[in-house]
Structure 1
Amino acid sequence: MTVGLVIVSHSSKIAEGVVELAGQMAPNVLIVPAGGTADSPPRIGTSLEKVQKGLVEADQGDGVVVLTDLGSAVMTAEMTLEFLAQDARSRIRLPRAALVEGAVAAAVRAQSGGTVDEVAAEAEAAVVSIDPESLEPFVSHGAAAPGIPVPADKPRGTPVRGAWTIRNKMGLHARPAAVIARALTDLDAEVTINGVDGKSVMLLMSLALGAGSELQAEATGPQARAAIDYIGREVEDGFGEL
């Protein structure tokens, strides 16, 4: 079983779209939309009843992370938690995270077997920018989600490096970014790809590496060679799209 997700939006179409997008990255994660009012058809707004049903459906025993869009959606989610028994409430997290970026990052972490706290932290730490320079503080200084301490630096050892030209037409888009991030999460290695954390699907997507771009990877740690070999195989295979 994995941690489930509930997507709370003022729009039923937005909630369903986020579920569809995040589901492409994490096919084994239960992601439930809870968007719009309880009317038929739903209007713009939020529904306590929909959120309650979503929590029940998504809670398969490993916990639930709730992602919201606007302030009143947060209030609806918080009100829903107040009606739950303590045992059920203790398995639910309501992180402060961007809806789309947080949902994708959380889904990928849940797919790789993360705990409810790890999935929530991944959602809060999700960062995307179309301006590479604005990523620098997060990449170089290891920013963590609010309340999550930054771990002390570990001995790096001798880095293992590789560089390849991206061959597939769509490049490093959402699906291969998620696949790579999931696989690297399972390896005992610190990996960067073109200067960003190779285990962060959102940062990989922010690179916008298209066909013909050079992908450069560096890894340290006990499984550094395995990480570099894996990335190389994926790039040379066109991420399975050739």
Structure 2
Amino acid sequence: MRQTALRQYLAYLNFLYRNYMRSHRYLRELVVVVIFHIFFWGFLYSNHPEDPIWWVFSVFAVLLNLVTTPSVFLLERGNTLHFLLARPHGRRFLLLAKVGLIVLIDLALVAFFAGIYGLRFLSASFFLHFPVRLAGILWILLLSTLLLSLAYSYRPQLSWLLMVLLIFGGIVNKAALLPVRLPGQFYKWLALALPPFFEISYLLVSLKITPRALPFLIAGLIQLFLLGWISYRGWMRRDFV
């Protein structure tokens, strides 16, 4: 039964990928690559490998995800969409395939450019930590994709709010807001609920988990499962007519 489910999931994933390539949606990611190169080229052409470059790659991952997520979620329409939904467990596999395709596309692009950066220096330490840091990028992409997927599981009007959460989650150092002593400091309570993109990016650079960042990293894992569950429930109830 598991093998049948896996084959069906891979069939959905393959179908979405082919549809993605046929519709030339990848051109949008290429635009992001060009923009990223224009604004961050100074970091990419340093004279020696630097660990903070992974903060730049985490920003690159989020920028890619902001483009890839709507591109893939709005890929199928009309008869194609209803054909996919009509299959056994079609809604479930379609959602999982969309999330999987988005993450794979963005992760592959980040890994490609990070690999090129590392090959410039042929640094053993860079490639030694490469899988661990790539796992951190995967964490960021999963959180970002599941957060943005709420707009397509519930209401597209939520897109602007979700993008705000995405951006502030990457720039707000939540550990610096502690301790929160007054109930009136509501803005701090709201900030503590943001996705921990800042803390994950710092982890990618330092490869150290500080005691102040640990609660937010644990919260990030909880958010991963919570966002997936909320998005799944909304997707299963959504009216696609």
Shared fold (TM-score, shorter chain, > 0.5): no
TM-score by length of 1: 0.25
TM-score by length of 2: 0.25
* Larger relative strand fraction: 1
| Structure with more contact order per residue of length (Cα contacts < 8 Å, sep ≥ 6) | 2
